[in-house]
Structure 1
């Protein structure tokens, strides 16, 4: 099987393609097509959930990343060369995008469909839109949090594209996109202190106000959002861009997004510390505003 071509970076939610392979996924069936609009769960940074929808009229109950090793990759990564075995999700033994591997979108169904059949692929557009809004809001919140915490660094850290110390990248432990929002967890332990961040005396209410004020301004600016898409392959290194009033922001990203910040309506965050104060959780949510 050749790598799946994907159209979700262009915002597509429908397509038609031929089934080129089928693999078992437990008691279920994994269907691979030549080209798909479905966004699968990424196996290395599973932040955005898989799309929902149908393939050939069947419900897609899950959508995961798969990889099959070629001869060179098998020798390098320890898989059987030319075995044709498709690895799924966390079982993939290769680095994302490693040469010599074919990277697949695997649509999981309860019922099989025959290889070679041409099928319609239809993504749940409402669910996709909610995830896209949540993902854009997540990036904006991360940049705003960087700005709000900029004066808490004793050393010169790496900077984000807006010129602020990149707390988000230095401290992120996990990120999960949810419909119309996200949940991000940051480590505040020894490693971050060694990098020069001071967590003592953190006034969460003040930080929340600063972040939400920035978010209000960025949403009101109706700034354009785009994805730089270097190719149609699943593992192409895509980059999110947003032309904010504060500058051109960019973040590597394999997810989906809205086309302008004004589409978000209103975005706000809440912050909470763990009981031992070694982690910080940011919950981002958006509420659409009626245009009546």
Structure 2
């Protein structure tokens, strides 16, 4: 099995929408009873172990199915690749190279073709774009529930999403976000009293904003300071009320109109400690 002394992080093309590429195999590492193929440059979006909101791309490498695609890290000057949750350092730690590891059923070498499944990519991109828009719409719909000044989102509304989110999962064509309504959020000034009764109205207000934003055919783009996997990328959307931006390492559609429609459903836990938002598109 091929090993190497790594000298660079994997370059990625998915932030610009890339789904195909050709690159040289840099290494093959064991992943259980399968093989993790590392190339110099890839269009594949791997699962991020630190914030695993968007699932990995599917597709093929050298014509073989990519059964999984994970983040790897290796300390400079060594050849031991740590995968996913076994990575012992923070993402972007100096002196470490960050890799996209394509898990397949055979070792590969030389130059290989990489192809991402475009249908899966598009459905996940739709879910991720809708997730960000729904978070902004929820912030606006809840803006009257803050009794203290709070950090604002890019549109000037109190950023409930960032203050309260505990989990986010992108699914094909949608997302599921969970918010903690605990003492910490209340101390920051958020009022949760009477929230259950107001949920239908809040969802309706968010839905109206989303309808407006989809109809606006607003442009969506990713700002990336470099091609490395760990480059700190930012999602942007030119909404009618101003340009929105959110730090993001995922994939997205190019315009809001491509979503067709976006709907949100809100659910409060029985004890009132958690709010769940489910977003759907199409």
For Structure 1 versus Structure 2, the TM-score category normalised by the shorter chain is over 0.9
Q: What CA distance in whole angstroms lies between the structure 2 residues aligned with 1:148 and 1:139?
A: 14
CA deviation profile, 1:135-160 (whole Å, cap 9, x unmatched):
00000000000000001011111100
Query: What is the 5 A alignment of 1:239-278?
Result: 239-278=234-273
* SS of residue paired to 1:54: strand
Which residue of 2 is the match for residue 132 of structure 1?
Answer: 125
Moved over 4 A (4+): none
Q: What CA distance in whole angstroms lies between the structure 1 residues aligned with 2:117 and 2:30?
A: 24
C-alpha RMSD of the superposition? 0.8
Which residue of 2 is the match for residue 216 of structure 1?
Answer: 211
CA deviation profile, 1:169-225 (whole Å, cap 9, x unmatched):
000000000111000000001111111111110111000100000000000000011
* SS of residue paired to 1:236: coil
Q: CA deviation at 1:98?
A: 1.3
Q: TM-score, normalised by structure 1?
A: 0.93
Match of 2:177 among 180, 184, 187: 184
Q: What CA distance in whole angstroms lies between the structure 1 residues aligned with 2:170 and 2:22?
A: 27
Query: What is the 5 A alignment of 1:1-292?
Result: 1=6, 2-70=8-76, 82-114=77-109, 117-202=110-195, 203-287=198-282
Q: CA deviation at 1:87?
A: 0.7
* SS of residue paired to 1:85: coil
Q: TM-score, normalised by structure 2?
A: 0.96
* SS of residue paired to 2:49: coil
Q: What CA distance in whole angstroms lies between the structure 2 residues aligned with 1:94 and 1:156?
A: 35
Q: What CA distance in whole angstroms lies between the structure 1 residues aligned with 2:63 and 2:271?
A: 50
Q: What CA distance in whole angstroms lies between the structure 2 residues aligned with 1:83 and 1:256?
A: 31
Q: What CA distance in whole angstroms lies between the structure 1 residues aligned with 2:155 and 2:78?
A: 47
Q: How many residues align?
A: 274
* SS of residue paired to 2:153: coil
Structure 1 unaligned residues grouped into runs of 5+: 71-81, 288-292
CA deviation profile, 1:62-117 (whole Å, cap 9, x unmatched):
000000012xxxxxxxxxxx442111111111111111110000000122223xx1
Q: What CA distance in whole angstroms lies between the structure 1 residues aligned with 2:88 and 2:147?
A: 39
Q: What CA distance in whole angstroms lies between the structure 1 residues aligned with 2:125 and 2:20?
A: 16
* SS of residue paired to 2:276: strand
Q: What CA distance in whole angstroms lies between the structure 1 residues aligned with 2:104 and 2:272?
A: 43
* SS of residue paired to 2:156: coil
Q: What CA distance in whole angstroms lies between the structure 1 residues aligned with 2:126 and 2:120?
A: 10
